[in-house]
């Protein structure tokens, strides 16, 4: 599996580097321009987002990325950020600060130094971001507030989310971050390439006509659960893969939240869910099947439950980014396909 992931990631980065090289050579007269450099001829650019309009006067040479996956969008376009928010997560914080392997592999592929990692445990690390002296701050997929935006804007131009915090689809993240780098055309080509990878991976996966929901559950306490709304990137990616959206997922975002809690007494709301995807380990399905309420749900009875881990790489990769998608696609589709077959 690792070799497949490496090939997919290398192909994505190779295509991105080639596209960026073409853009750089056509937009600048410098024959020594780096292949991963933003396109000079694309500037200035104005980018509208939920917190205002950002003008970027010239091609940024130093890029900082905060929030989730914005550094991956830049890397996939051949630009290596000098600083990025901590992307790893665990309940005991034992992993320390860092990036996942799909991002680290990209830095290596691009021959770039690994970035400064901003600690997010106490919120935005404004001082660390300022210390990297960025020319632009990518935050297309983030939860920054108006006050955060004002403070960050004193450091460098900031590209925020287009509408709702933490709700930016992966394609739009690539578009916004790509525009900030002067690589709008390359961003569209990257999106098309990833879409092609998704189409190929799911061609015979058996998802058509089936529903799937992404949940947050605890095998140790199944009295409550949470379901992610259709606009959340985890749930939306199941739609990208070809699943239909069940009623509970559609209803989850009615109040503008990206998830909704429910009690086990109302677990029958999942009766039209063919495949359940959830954070958790190997103990999750046995716990669900042993529970007097959860065991009444068809997906649980059929064993059509995909546990994606809790705090490891796969559990993070399924919150899709420009680089995590190629990294996890075959494994994730395989797990989902096995579960979907049980829902026949």
DSSP H or E segment with residue 195: helix 184-202
38-52, 183-197, 263-277: lowest mean pLDDT where? 38-52
Which pLDDT score is estimated for 20?
A: 46
Same domain as 178, residue 81: yes
Same domain as 80, residue 216: no
For residue 276, is it within any domain? yes
Residue 35 pLDDT class (50, 70, 90 cuts): very low
Non-local (6+) Cβ contacts of 293 within 8 A are: 222, 264, 265, 267
Which pLDDT score is estimated for 42?
A: 79
CA angle 125, 129, 130 (to 5 degrees): 115
Residue 22 pLDDT class (50, 70, 90 cuts): very low
pLDDT over 50 at 1, yes or no: no
pLDDT over 70 at 167, yes or no: yes
Final residue of a structural domain among 199, 229, 246? 199
pLDDT over 70 at 44, yes or no: yes
Q: What is the percent of the chain where pLDDT is above 70? A: 86
Which pLDDT score is estimated for 97?
A: 84
Nearest Cα to Cα of residue 250 among 232, 237, 266: 232
What CATH number is given to the structural domain containing 292? 3.40.50.1980
Same domain as 142, residue 238: no
User: Which single residue is written with the structure tokens 């970035």?
Assistant: 115
Nearest Cα to Cα of residue 264 among 219, 228, 211: 219
Which pLDDT score is estimated for 237?
A: 98
Tell me how many domains the chain contains.
2
Which pLDDT score is estimated for 256?
A: 77
- Mean pLDDT across the chain: 89
Torsion of CA 163, 165, 170, 171, to 10 degrees: 10
Final residue of a structural domain among 177, 199, 221? 199
pLDDT over 90 at 95, yes or no: no
Question: CA 271, CA 287: separation in Å to the nearest integer?
Answer: 18
Residue 231 pLDDT class (50, 70, 90 cuts): very high
For residue 204, is it within any domain? no
Q: Please, is 161 exposed, middle or buried when counting C-beta atoms within 10 Å of its C-beta (0-12, 13-18, 19+)?
A: buried
2-16, 46-60, 190-204, 318-332: lowest mean pLDDT where? 2-16
Same domain as 53, residue 186: yes
Residues in the chain: 344
| 39: DSSP letter | -
Structural domain that includes position 312:
212-342
Torsion of CA 138, 140, 144, 146, to 10 degrees: 90
User: Which single residue is written with the structure tokens 């039209």?
Assistant: 272
Let me know: does 79 contact 62? Beta carbons within 8 Å.
no
pLDDT over 90 at 33, yes or no: no
Q: Three-class SS of residue 263?
A: strand
DSSP H or E segment with residue 227: strand 221-228
For residue 207, is it within any domain? no
CA 46 to chain centre: 24
Same domain as 185, residue 63: yes
Let me know: does 305 contact 284? Beta carbons within 8 Å.
yes
- Of residues 251 and 41, more confidence is placed in 251
Which pLDDT score is estimated for 253?
A: 82
Which pLDDT score is estimated for 39?
A: 61
Sheet containing strand 305-307, strands side by side: 259-263, 221-228, 212-218, 275-279, 305-307
Same domain as 310, residue 185: no
Q: Three-class SS of residue 296?
A: helix
pLDDT over 90 at 91, yes or no: no
pLDDT over 50 at 25, yes or no: no
Which pLDDT score is estimated for 294?
A: 98
Mean pLDDT value of segment 299-306: 98
Which pLDDT score is estimated for 344?
A: 73
Which pLDDT score is estimated for 8?
A: 53
Same domain as 182, residue 41: yes
Residue 257 pLDDT class (50, 70, 90 cuts): confident
Which pLDDT score is estimated for 30?
A: 38
Which pLDDT score is estimated for 311?
A: 83
Let me know: does 144 contact 68? Beta carbons within 8 Å.
no
Torsion of CA 123, 124, 128, 131, to 10 degrees: -160
Highest-pLDDT range among 172-176, 258-262, 312-316: 172-176
Same domain as 105, residue 246: no
């Amino acid at each position: 599996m690792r070799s497949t992931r490496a090939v997919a990631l290398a192909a994505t980065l190779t295509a991105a580097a080639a596209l960026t090289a073409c853009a750089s050579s056509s937009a600048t007269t410098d024959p020594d321009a780096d292949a991963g450099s933003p396109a000079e001829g694309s500037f200035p650019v104005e980018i509208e987002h939920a917190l205002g309009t950002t003008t970027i006067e010239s091609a940024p040479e130093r890029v900082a990325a905060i929030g989730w996956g914005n550094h991956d969008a830049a890397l996939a376009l051949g630009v290596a950020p000098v600083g990025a928010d901590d992307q790893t997560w665990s309940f005991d914080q034992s992993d320390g600060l860092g990036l996942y392997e799909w991002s680290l592999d990209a830095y290596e592929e691009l021959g770039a130094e690994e970035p400064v990692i901003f600690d997010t445990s106490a919120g935005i690390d404004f001082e660390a971001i300022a210390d990297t002296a960025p020319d632009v701050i990518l935050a297309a997929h983030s939860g920054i507030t108006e006050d955060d935006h004002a403070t960050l804007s004193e450091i460098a131009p900031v590209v925020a989310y287009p509408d709702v915090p933490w709700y930016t689809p992966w394609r739009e993240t690539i578009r916004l971050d790509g525009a900030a780098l002067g690589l709008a055309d390359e961003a569209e080509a990257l999106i098309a390439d990833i879409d092609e990878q998704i189409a190929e991976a799911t061609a015979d996966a058996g998802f058509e006509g089936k529903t799937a929901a992404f949940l947050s559950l605890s095998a140790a306490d199944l009295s409550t659960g949470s379901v992610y709304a259709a606009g959340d990137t985890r749930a939306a990616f199941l739609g990208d893969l070809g699943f239909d959206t069940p009623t509970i997922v559609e209803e989850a975002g009615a109040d503008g939240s990206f998830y909704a809690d429910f009690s086990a007494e109302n677990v029958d709301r999942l009766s039209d869910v063919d495949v359940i995807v959830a954070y958790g380990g190997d103990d999750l399905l046995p716990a669900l099947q042993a529970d007097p309420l959860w065991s009444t749900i068809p997906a649980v009875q059929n064993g059509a439950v995909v546990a994606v881990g809790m705090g490891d790489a796969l559990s993070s990769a399924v919150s899709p980014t420009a680089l995590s998608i190629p990294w996890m696609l075959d494994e994730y589709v395989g797990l989902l396909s096995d579960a979907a077959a049980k829902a026949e």
